[in-house]
Structure 1
Amino acid sequence: MSKKNQKTKILLVSYLFAPNNSIGAVRPSKFAKYLIRQGHDVTVLCVAPLKLTDTLSPNMLELNSADTICISHSNLYKFFLKILNGCINFKKKLSLLIKFNGTSIKQPKKTSIKQPKETSKSSTQGNISLAKNYIYFILSIIESFDWYMQVRKWFKTKKVNSQHYDLMLSSYGPLSSHWVGNFLNTQGISKLWFADFRDPMLLDSKPYYARKFLSKWQNDILRNASALTTVSEGMKNQILSTYEGEINACVISNGYDNEDITLDSITKIEFTGGKLHFGYTGTLYGGRRNLKPIFNALRELINEGYISSDKVCFHYAGTEGSILKNQAAAFSLESNVVDYGLVSRVKAQEIQFSCNLLVVATWNNYNERGVLTGKIFDYMRANVPIIALIAGDTADSELSQLVKQTNVGISYEEANDNKDFYNLKKYILNQYNFVIENKKALHKPDTKTMMNYEYNKLVEKLVGFYNFLRRS
């Protein structure tokens, strides 16, 4: 075989990977799929799932041709996780027990004790929230460190030649993926190392000392990596703004796979006719993804007599239904929310394909720009209009630009509330009238522009970036 036709040997390090169904597994799994299809020799290093309740779409079985190395967590960590889950389940059961037996609990007598000031209450809630954030951070570090150490133990038992791989790509998060990438880079097993960020490492929502540690670790990663890849221009600029050195960087967006489930292969849910059906599937990040603008617009349209409250339904699938209902309750619309809870990926797609409008949410702040959720690309496959909600103090977000470029719907930015809220109301009203009359929403996306976000083309861009650096 000539040198020109030799396969590129690639090691993909990702804690999350197919058949794991989490959203974090999609990007690295699609990278591997299309790298293999383009003729490259791919090895995957990932975690062995503790429990597999759902899988990615069947076409991901093509990944069987990849050499997949699944490293399990330690028995000590598994025992720790079992104890932790037991405590959480006990707390939930205790809360339910108190709720259902609350009428039999003797209520304390009212006293004339002076109520604490609202500022004191807010301060207490803030301290509780801060404590929870530190706990979540510590738990994530324990998880990452345990898997990192298990990979190190595994590596000691293997004999891997220096520069065995042409390219190693580690994908964040969690942190363990880059820790492992950094360790393997010090062992010299690959000629080049790409540190891929599908999520931002430094978030304002993280506690102060957590950000200090993460900032140090991020700089260590950038110092040792050959190149940086991110999902958005804003994220790339944010990461580089905290790094004093120089590193090659490239934006490889998230995207969608044309071979994923399609309208012809899915069983649509027969929702009640004569209604406008909204849909949202996924996490709300504890409320940072704020859907209140939609409920606010609906409430005003209802009060103004343009929309009937019994002809609007909001479908939610995920683990934070109570947060969404609280957001809807602020506008007396909680009864319009249907909460499916945590569902399979296929069920989530059935909901997406069956709704008239799909909602995606993110934030765009001065210190957190370019948070471009992969959910919008998931929604594109449903061929349904999309409403993008962007919280934060910085306008002209990349999510808003993407919606305009592809003409897949409308965006609302908190930073442009005066203009965008009016446009949001108008858009919802127009779609409401169109759906009531035609039983489907008005949707004319720019399919040519959308094709730029197909994963096969994104992987071609990734390979092109690698070849550019390889020849440099």
Structure 2
Amino acid sequence: MKRVLIITYYWPPNGGAGVYRWLKLSKLLPEHGWQPVIYTPENPEVVADDPGLLKDIRADIEVVKRPITEPFNLYKRFTGRSTKEKVQVGFLNEQKQGGWKEDFALWVRSNFFIPDARVWWVRPSVKFLKQWLRKNPVDAIISTGPPHSMHLIALGLKRALGVKWVADFRDPWTDIDFYAQLKLTAWADAKHKRLEGAVLREADRVVTVSWHWAQDLQKLGAKDVAVITNGYDPDDLPPAAVPVDEDYSLVHIGSLSPTRNAPELWKALRVLCDEAPDFAAKFKLRFVGPVDHTIAESVSAAGLGAHLERTGRVTHGEAMRHMQRARVLLLLVNDTPNLLGILPGKLFEYVGAGRPILGVGPVAGDAARVLDRAPHAVIDRGGLVENRGRIKAMFTAPAGAPDPRWSRAATCVQMAEVLNTLA
């Protein structure tokens, strides 16, 4: 069996959106002739503690761990945050933040930690892995980012050893939705783009999760970009069926950053509640996961505060149960310049849960390409009030069967095909 080294920052028991793609693919790759070896930090900053994910790690997978030094405790101390507070991504703040310390810390992080706060792990990892690979050869390496420092580790190994390399972009680098908020100097912006260009040019293959993002990466210099979306794993579903809510629950799972706010949707739901008292009596808007304070304020401003239920971070297993309970699952596509290619991992888990999905975003985007079959619907932000009757009908629509096109088994076949082109 061929061997592939996977360089990933996220690995159980660390949870969060970044862990699932390679946790699931590494479980299935041996069925296609590739034995994974995982390289990951020994002591990463914890995004979400989820030991239940450990059950998905195959017993025959070797996991190589090395210590990492990260600046987050210094950042927390400087800004007055608790050292136990989880670091959020995408400029999400559950409480109002501000002041010169936050601004200065962001400026330092953006301009001196390039491409990200894990950059101190690059040189020691390259040094260690060069020796390790000489004793433990592999047929290919995969780096997955963000954090994009993982790609720089692979770039160093490519240049030193000539090993075949796949760069996997779960999110863009300089096209990421919050890049413009990083307050970069011209020097820092140029360095980001220089490093990104080197990764895209020197990787043997580049993989990303959506079709529009593949086009964007090709414009930046990538030679051969494969689209391998995320997917759902049927094994994640609870063994016993979870009953669907009696209430008309509209449920969002995962982080809600400011760019996911949808005041147009809150307005449409408010109009629905005003027009149909029977609907209003049963309607619940449920957020499961961290929510930026601006979104909670926007919901309340629309007059939906009495309908809002909030649950903090939950384990992956609990999230799946929330999905199966929901009358309708809510996908909010970030309102950012790269919105056409936004295809969150949770979308595919929604599909696996078999409940109707309401997507709010561009009808020409990649999310609409996935949600192209009933009972799902994607509605542009500007058309939500006009389509409120269509939204209301979704709460009593029959469930659909999970679409096999988007299973992890199907996406793993595609990843193995990419690896096979190299070895």
Whether TM-score is above 0.5 comes out as yes
For 1:279-298, what aligned pairs fall within 5 Å after superposition? 279-285=251-257, 287-298=258-269
139-148 or 217-226: which moved more? 139-148
Opposite residue 334 of structure 2, the aligned amino acid is: W
- Corresponding residue number in structure 1 for 2:41: 47
1:403 is the counterpart of 2:371: yes
For 1:93-172, what aligned pairs fall within 5 Å after superposition? 134=107, 137=110, 141=115, 143-155=117-129, 158-161=131-134, 164-172=137-145
Q: Distance in 2 between matches of 1:142 and 1:468?
A: 31
Return the TM-score normalized by structure 1.
0.76
Opposite residue 257 of structure 1, the aligned amino acid is: D
> What is the DSSP-based 3-state SS (H/G/I as helix, E as strand, rest coil) of the residue aligned with 2:65?
strand
Residue by residue, what CA displacement relative to the aligned partner does 1:353-393 show, whole Å, maximum 9, x if unpaired?
21111101123655553111111111122221111112xxx
CA gap of 1:238–1:42, structure 2 versus 1, over 3 A, is same
Q: Distance in 2 between matches of 1:215 and 1:188?
A: 24
Question: What is the percentage of aligned positions where both structures have the same residue?
Answer: 19
- Corresponding residue number in structure 2 for 1:61: 57
Q: Which has the larger radius of gyration?
A: 1
- Of structures 1 and 2, the one scoring higher in RCO (CA 8 A, sep 6+) is 2
> What is the DSSP-based 3-state SS (H/G/I as helix, E as strand, rest coil) of the residue aligned with 1:187?
helix
Q: Answer whether contact 2:354 2:400 (CA < 8 A) is retained.
A: no
- Corresponding residue number in structure 2 for 1:442: 398
Q: Distance in 2 between matches of 1:254 and 1:54?
A: 20
Pairwise CA distance, 1:15 = 1.1
For 1:75-86, what aligned pairs fall within 5 Å after superposition? 77=70, 80-86=71-77
> What is the DSSP-based 3-state SS (H/G/I as helix, E as strand, rest coil) of the residue aligned with 1:160?
helix
- Corresponding residue number in structure 2 for 1:333: 304
1:217 is the counterpart of 2:186: no
Pairwise CA distance, 1:410 = 0.9
- Corresponding residue number in structure 1 for 2:90: none
> What is the DSSP-based 3-state SS (H/G/I as helix, E as strand, rest coil) of the residue aligned with 1:43?
strand
- Corresponding residue number in structure 2 for 1:238: 216
313-322 or 205-214: which moved more? 205-214
Opposite residue 45 of structure 1, the aligned amino acid is: Y
CA gap of 1:234–1:132, structure 2 versus 1, over 3 A, is farther
Return the TM-score normalized by structure 2.
0.84
Q: 1:72 is matched with which residue: 67, 70, 84? A: 67
Q: Distance in 2 between matches of 1:288 and 1:295?
A: 15
CA gap of 1:363–1:19, structure 2 versus 1, over 3 A, is same
Residue by residue, what CA displacement relative to the aligned partner does 1:13-69 show, whole Å, maximum 9, x if unpaired?
11112332111111111121111233322211112244572135464132x311111
Q: Distance in 1 between matches of 2:290 and 2:328?
A: 21
Point out the structure with the larger helix share: 1
Opposite residue 55 of structure 1, the aligned amino acid is: P
Q: Answer whether contact 2:249 2:284 (CA < 8 A) is retained.
A: yes
CA gap of 1:193–1:408, structure 2 versus 1, over 3 A, is farther
Q: Distance in 2 between matches of 1:295 and 1:329?
A: 9
CA gap of 1:305–1:135, structure 2 versus 1, over 3 A, is farther
- Corresponding residue number in structure 2 for 1:99: none
Q: Answer whether contact 2:73 2:83 (CA < 8 A) is retained.
A: no
Structure 1, gaps ≥5 residues long: 1-6, 93-124, 435-440
- Corresponding residue number in structure 2 for 1:458: 411
Q: Distance in 1 between matches of 2:205 and 2:328?
A: 39
Q: Answer whether contact 1:306 1:429 (CA < 8 A) is retained.
A: no
Residue by residue, what CA displacement relative to the aligned partner does 1:224-272 show, whole Å, maximum 9, x if unpaired?
11111111110010111122xx61221111111122223x34666x85x
> What is the DSSP-based 3-state SS (H/G/I as helix, E as strand, rest coil) of the residue aligned with 2:30?
helix
CA gap of 1:234–1:428, structure 2 versus 1, over 3 A, is same
Opposite residue 46 of structure 1, the aligned amino acid is: T
Structure 2, gaps ≥5 residues long: 86-97
- Corresponding residue number in structure 2 for 1:437: none
Q: Answer whether contact 2:23 2:57 (CA < 8 A) is retained.
A: no
Q: Answer whether contact 2:12 2:50 (CA < 8 A) is retained.
A: no
Q: Distance in 2 between matches of 1:132 and 1:304?
A: 48
- Corresponding residue number in structure 1 for 2:206: 228
Q: 2:11 is matched with which residue: 9, 13, 17? A: 17
